[in-house]
């Protein structure tokens, strides 16, 4: 696996937006695996810009988000449903609603919701391009250190590290949900092509551990060493 330094967040974001755009325009029935979080914001801004400029048909594009916080309703400003609406689906309102999938974090039976989501990915998949960010602790999706590599979509207890890191998006740490529903490492691994992005010095240590090259369940992203088609792009600060 090669880690490529594209210099700045801006360059890397534009590059990955172009890759997503090309996938969409070349294969109008593509399935995209989407991440949320700070890392993706500029990628999606550039993607929307490209879609608008090219009046791109996205009516047959299907999307699966990696995860959602447990307990946050779709209209909560920090829910990943809301994030996706705000950043992609409202600014480019041409996606087919029934082809947009985000786990339901307020489902009455969370285990059942995780199973439903996993079955849907298996039925519709494989995902053509899966976009990933990385946690400071090496998580991908919300697969925290120690998650078994064969895990399907499941309910996750977030670690202290993730709760602390994500408290920057909430008023205070106490408001960060303690659980999430996340695609598992096995669900992510099934994608045909995976692109991981890491920006800023807070991600440098995780990138150093990824670069070591050993598959290690304490650093969930290292499972990607076993995948045949992974690209990793970073900025100067995250470059190990
Ligand atoms: C988000 C997700 C997470 C984030 C990671 C980095 O859907 O699955 O793995 O990609 O926590 O988050 P940011 O980009 O906010 O630093």
Q: What is the pLDDT of residues 108-167, one digit of tens each?
A: 999 999 999 999 999 999 999 999 999 999 999 999 999 999 999 999 999 999 999 999
Q: What is the pLDDT of residues 63-118, one digit of tens each?
A: 999 999 999 999 999 999 999 999 999 999 999 999 999 999 999 999 999 999 99
pTM of the model: 0.97
* Length of the chain in terms of residues written: 240
CA–CA gap between residue 213 and residue 103 (Å, rounded): 31
Architecture in CATH for domain 2-233: 3-Layer(aba) Sandwich (3.40)
Residue 219 Cβ inside 6 Å of ligand 1? The answer reads no
**Are the C-beta atoms of residues 29 and 95 closer than 8 Å to each other?**
no
Q: In the block, which residue shows the tokens 């499941």?
A: 154
Q: How far is the CA of 40 from the centre of ligand 1 (A)?
A: 8
Cα dihedral across residues 150, 122, 111, 155: positive or negative: positive
**Are the C-beta atoms of residues 16 and 195 closer than 8 Å to each other?**
yes
pLDDT at 1 over 90: no
Phi, psi for residue 156 in degrees, rounded to 5: -120, 140
**Known active-site residue 75:** no
**Atom of ligand 1 lying closest to residue 34 CA:** 7
Please tell me the residue having the least CA distance from ligand 1 atom 1: 36
């Amino acid at each position: 696996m090669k880690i490529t330094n594209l210099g700045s967040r801006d360059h890397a974001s534009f590059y990955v937006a172009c890759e997503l755009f090309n996938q969409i325009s070349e294969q109008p029935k593509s399935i995209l695996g989407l991440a949320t979080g700070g890392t993706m914001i500029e990628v999606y801004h550039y993607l929307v810009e490209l879609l608008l400029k090219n009046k791109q048909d996205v009516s047959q594009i299907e999307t699966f988000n990696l995860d959602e916080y447990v307990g946050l309703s779709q209209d909560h400003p920090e829910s990943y449903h809301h994030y996706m609406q705000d950043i992609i689906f409202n600014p480019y309102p041409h996606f087919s609603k029934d082809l947009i999938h985000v786990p339901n974090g307020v489902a009455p039976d969370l285990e059942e919701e995780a199973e439903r989501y996993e079955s849907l990915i298996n039925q519709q998949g494989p995902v053509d391009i899966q976009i990933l960010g990385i946690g400071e602790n090496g998580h991908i999706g919300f697969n925290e250190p120690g998650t078994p590599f064969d895990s399907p979509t499941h309910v996750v207890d977030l670690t202290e590290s993730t709760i602390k890191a994500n408290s920057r998006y909430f008023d205070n740490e106490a408001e960060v949900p303690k659980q999430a529903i996340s695609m598992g490492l096995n669900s992510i691994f099934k994608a045909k092509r995976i692109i991981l992005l890491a920006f800023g010095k807070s991600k440098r240590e995780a990138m150093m551990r990824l670069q070591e090259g050993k598959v290690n369940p304490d650093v969930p992203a290292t499972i990607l060493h076993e995948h045949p088609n992974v690209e990793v792009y970073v900025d100067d600060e995250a470059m190990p």
